Structure 1
Amino acid sequence: MKDKISIIVPIYNVEKHLDRCVKSLINQTYKNIEIILVDDGSPDNCPEMCDYYVTEDSRIRVIHKENGGLSDARNVGIEKSTGSYIAFVDSDDWVEEDFIEELYNNIKRENADISIIGYTLIWNSGKRITYSDNNDYFVYNQEYAIKELLKQKKFQCMVCQKMYKRKIFNEIKFPVGKIYEDVAVSLPTFLKANKVVFSGKPMYFYYQREDSIVNEKFNKNKLFFLDCCKEIIDYSNKHNKIFDKEAYNFYLRALLMLVLQLYSDVRTRNSEICKQLEKEVRKNKKHIFVNPYIDFKKRIALFMILVRFPRRLLYKVWRLKQGE
């Protein structure tokens, strides 16, 4: 019999989207799965929906718990899982019917520790952006997998586009009470992987909700992203700057994202935090000019911060360049 694969789905306040997600998992072509629905104290009809799904498919297990956040729900799901491999799907997203089969076949074929798939961002407006090439297929050793992760070109930090050997999470937990939890576990999980395989087939559909935590306006909790970036830089510095260019690319991308979020709101545009992050950009100006992995648009935006281009106008120019 093929290996059992645990699919962990944290659930909170997503009753409008949950059915689409669960049905896409029930219909997977790879059958030896357990679907772990973690009801994180959801205040809507999700708990009852989860209990109904159990009656529809014996592979579904439900965990009802008090609200502890996304990281806590995932940690509980991992603890209760019994599969040899672990995958994550967010409850407002959905996947192709051969999503699990593709990830599993690749991880077995290459004897890899992590398997990664392409994905598509989808908005209510119908806008779609696919961040991979359907024909891409790469196998990486640990060093080059981490470098590719930090380049943020072929794949990103999100755990939902990945399948992991169970052992990867033996000693790793998602940080409870933090956002950008995927970033926090990225380096630790890749450091436990000797081999990583990537297929560019876009089989994961990442729904862009306006009310999602990541898509909200700036708040101080988002500074945790920079803490994670600095840990990666520190690790690189302690290992002969092995990921130096890639790590600073990752850090400067995060800085730019947060600065632009601050610029977008008149209440934060002239705040002390905004000034501190601008100062951090200037502190790292040498990397802006010489780093080969920063794309042209981001390099220009970072340069405009360096020369103190008007904040509101810079944000407007950025939106225009992004086609918004």
Structure 2
Amino acid sequence: MKVSVIVPIYNTGKFLRECLDSLVKQIFDDYEIIIINDGSTDDSLEIAREYKASHENIRCYNNNKKGVSNARNLGFLKAKGDYIFFCDSDDYVDLSMLDKMYREITEAQAEVAVCNIYNVYDNGHKDIALSLPKEKILLNEDYQLTYKIINGTVFLANSAANKLYQREYLDSSNVFFEDTKKIYAEDACFNYLLYTTVNKICVIDEPLYYYRCKRNGSITNSYKPDLCNRMKYLLSTMIDTYSQLPQYEKLYPGIQNITYEFYIQLLYNEFKRNITYKEFKKIVIDKYFINILKGLNTAALSRNKKILYKLYFLKRYSLMYVFFMLRRGR
């Protein structure tokens, strides 16, 4: 078996047919589709069983509301393919995706292949999401690629869904998706940990994955009350792994950059509710973030982020509060 496609589903019946149609109609041969139903209460499971009945290369399993990370991990354990592709069930793919990505990753003998993404909007409009490196092959000599990725000079998207992974590499790295309830950005964590051991990544600068952008009222854009602890879990997991690398001191500024980006997201999240200044200040003075962010190199930051960082360490928390209040709802 060449490729295993893993599709976790949870109440995505509205979009699931388009997703599965794009997968079963691939111009590629020798692949399987593993659907993991995570306790859907709509018609998602019924649709999945319908496709399973008419396609021999589809298998379907139940996973009772354990989260997308657990569903992906289960799919990986059930997979028989030499390469692994994770697809979100409300998205869809180009009919040539598996063929092109498999050909590129095997010819390059790379551990990971990355393609570009189309952002798809409710009005039917779509645009290309990423500015990928011009090089077709990215080599990780002396952690140079790891350094560029965590510093943001090379951006391959945090998502696992625009990538094809070598099964042998995933097995040897022993990296799994962390529990969604514990961690923020489980895809990002998965990839950041893999990038510590990757040797070669091949780049296909063609939008082969169609990402359905979430509406403003969706869960993705709603207030997350546990976000602070989930971010700390993500950063601690990264630091635990990166601190064991011989180039940790060189890579640490990248950890700081990631921390600051997530920290800004955390503060924006808090203003999705009616947060008081007292509540805001309690979050801002959290020593966990202060200890990591001391000495951050702000040269590459946007003007607003530079200003926020300066206010942060000057302890001008009231001005920070006003800054986010003015941007609430934007």
Which moves more between the two structures, 209-218 or 53-62? 209-218
**Counterpart in the other structure of 1:253:** 261
The structure 2 residue matched to 1:178, chosen from 165, 178, 182, is: 182
- 1:232 corresponds, among 231, 235, 238, to 238
Aligned-pair distance for 1:90?
0.5
Q: How many residues align?
A: 317
In structure 2, the CA distance between the partners of 1:237 and 1:175, relative to structure 1 (3 Å rule), is closer
> What is the correspondence of 1:205-220 to structure 2 with a 5 Å cutoff?
205-210=210-215, 213-220=219-226
Deviation at 1:89, TM superposition (A): 0.5
Instruction: Assess if the C-alpha contact under 8 Å between 2:298 and 2:306 holds in 1.
Output: no
**Corresponding residue number in structure 2 for 1:148:** 148
SS at match of 1:92: coil
Aligned counterparts of 1:113 and 1:163: Cα–Cα separation in 2? 8
Is 1:87 equivalent to 2:90 in the alignment?
no
User: TM-score when scaled to structure 2?
Assistant: 0.84
Q: Which residue of 1 aligns with 2:170?
A: 169
Which stretch of structure 1 is more off in the superposition, 24-33 or 169-178?
A: 169-178
CA contact (8 A) 2:26 2:98 kept: yes
**Shift in Å at residue 25 of structure 1?**
1.1
C-alpha spacing 1:27/1:298, structure 2 compared with 1 (3 Å): farther
SS at match of 1:206: strand
1:257-287 per-residue CA deviation (whole Å, 9 max, x = no partner) reads 1111112321466426x63345556555654
Structure 2 counterpart SS, 1:16: helix
Amino acid at match of 1:178: K
* TM-score, normalised with respect to structure 1: 0.85
CA separation in 1, counterparts of 2:292 and 2:132? 35
Amino acid at match of 1:265: R
Distance in 2 (CA, whole Å) between partners of 1:95 and 1:316 is 39
Residue 293 (structure 1) shift: 4.3
Partner of 1:276: 283
- Judged with a 3 Å threshold, the aligned counterparts in structure 2 of structure 1 residues 31 and 173 are, in CA distance, closer, same or farther, namely same
Query: Could you report, residue by residue, the CA deviation over 1:173-220 in whole angstroms, capped at 9, with x for unpaired residues?
Result: 222343422133223322342212223322222223346554331321
Q: CA distance change for structure 1 residues 147 and 265 in 2, over 3 Å: closer, same or farther? A: same
> Is the alpha carbon distance of 1:246 and 1:35 closer, same or farther for their aligned partners in structure 2, counting shifts above 3 Å?
same
Percent of paired sites with the same residue: 22
Measured in 2, the distance between the counterparts of 1:285 and 1:66 equals: 39
Which residue matches 1:49?
47
Do the aligned residues in 2 keep the contact of 1:151 with 1:246 (CA within 8 Å)?
yes
Deviations 1:77-130 (A, max 9, x none): 011110000010011111122222232222112211111112233332556553
Aligned pairs for 1:1-324 (under 5 A) are: 4-125=2-123, 128=126, 130-133=128-131, 136-142=134-140, 143-152=143-152, 153-170=154-171, 171-176=174-179, 177-179=181-183, 180-210=185-215, 213-221=219-227, 223-238=229-244, 239-240=246-247, 241-267=249-275, 270-271=278-279, 275-279=282-286, 283=291, 286-288=294-296, 290-306=297-313, 307-311=316-320, 313-315=322-324, 317-318=326-327, 324=330
Deviation at 1:236, TM superposition (A): 4.1
